Structure 1
Amino acid sequence: MANYLTAEMDAEVRQASSVQELEALIEAKGPFDIVLLDLIMPGMTPGLDAITRILELNQHNPILLLSGSASPGVVHEALDIGASGYIDKSQSARSLVNAINFVLAGEIYLPMSFRLNTARPSITDETGLTPKEIEVLRCLTNGMMNKEIAQSLGVSEVTIKMHVRSICAKLNVKNRTQAAMIGSQFLLV
């Protein structure tokens, strides 16, 4: 993974085999632009306290969580603590690059295959969202970028940008991240 990211993103990648080693690396090298944190990395238990420590130590730069089988509850708890996203280890290397770029752009990333709690209420007509806007919001909630949404829906990227602006206005939010958070509460992703 490190070699791929180094080549694909022209990035300097450092590796740590435990939370303690990661903390020492941050202290020695200074803050990193992003930390990819394995949920089963030694030092991650009990709970997710390591996320808070790493965020503080890394000057609140984003943390993208990696796991082969994280539950929605654990991921939501990690997002509440301050993580910027989650990617499943079974996803492609290209998806990892997309997730990193998405998180570095200030967004929250959750993969399309990741299903949130199905017991959530649905968006009512009070929002005024059209069926197409709900479809776009679902894609935002799944962590997709405008270009990916446009490709999956067969429309132009400009059209998606207009839908995102309209969604933000109708939900009374400032950006796509806030819209995605509302979408995660109300949509079956």
Structure 2
Amino acid sequence: MKLFLVDDHPIVRSGLAALFADEEDVEIVGEASNGADAVRLIALRRPDVVLMDLRLNGDMDGVQTTRRVRALPDPPRVLVLTTYESDTDIIRAVDAGASGYLLKDSPPERLFDAVRGVGRGETVLSPPVAARLMHRVRDPLPALTPRELEIVRLLAEGAGNKEIAKRIFVTEATVKTHLRRIYTKLDVDTRTAAVRAAVDRSLIRLD
């Protein structure tokens, strides 16, 4: 099985290569630290499976890179290997075409099994990720109020708290309260992640 590594940390890539060195049925055929190089090299090396981190150097993150890789002719399967396990990250990766989602604190044996499983066409999820997806199905995230949607749209425009307060005629303290509620409802912890989650859930559209 031909394996390609995509991670922005050289030490991580070296560690992964060392881990697989003794696996006789797996050959590392290339690696990349950013999405553009990954797509270009994967098209040339034609691996069977790609290990994909979500945070990469350059203009594309791991989800965007996964989508581009899966759009290649006879594309390889993608196994996400990351430290991030928010609902938004998981859903975005699966929507982009990832066949598996594994956390970096998984033991080596679990990683080996996941790579081989994805290579066989299976869907592989680490237990914490599977649990989050099940929770997401059973208990959908609460809806945003019209005021919260308005604030998310302003976040998407790049507005700061002071500007948002001025435009919707409230205090900055009120804006901060709304933001805390938005973050909780969208299961995120940053402004950028809130906008991304709202777009992914089709709550807002970016022109």
- TM-score, normalising length: structure 2: 0.52
For residues 93-128 of structure 1, give each alpha carbon's deviation from its aligned partner in whole angstroms, at most 9, with x where no partner exists.
Answer: 111101111111211111113232525339xxxxxx
Q: Does 1:24 align with 2:46?
A: no
What is the DSSP-based 3-state SS (H/G/I as helix, E as strand, rest coil) of the residue aligned with 2:128?
Answer: coil
TM-score, normalization: structure 1?
0.56
Q: How far apart, in 1, do the equivalents of 2:103 and 2:66 lie?
A: 17
1:19 shift after superposition: 1.5
The structure carrying a bigger strand percent of its residues is 2
The equivalent residue for 1:104 is 119
Q: 1:113 to 1:89 in 2, by over 3 A?
A: same
1:59 corresponding residue in structure 2 = 74
Structure 2 residue identity aligned to 1:66? L
Of 132, 138, 143, 1:116 maps to: 132
Structure 2, unpaired ranges of 5+: 1-15, 140-207
Q: Counterpart of 1:57 in 2: which secondary structure? A: coil
> How many residues align structurally?
121
Change (3 A) 1:49 1:69: closer
Aligned 8 A contact 1:26 1:58 in 2:
no
Q: Deviation at 1:83?
A: 0.7
Determine if contact 1:64/1:83 at 8 Å carries over to the other structure.
yes
Structure with the greater alpha carbon radius of gyration: 2
Cα deviations across residues 160-182 of structure 1 (Å, max 9, x unaligned)? Answer: xxxxxxxxxxxxxxxxxxxxxxx
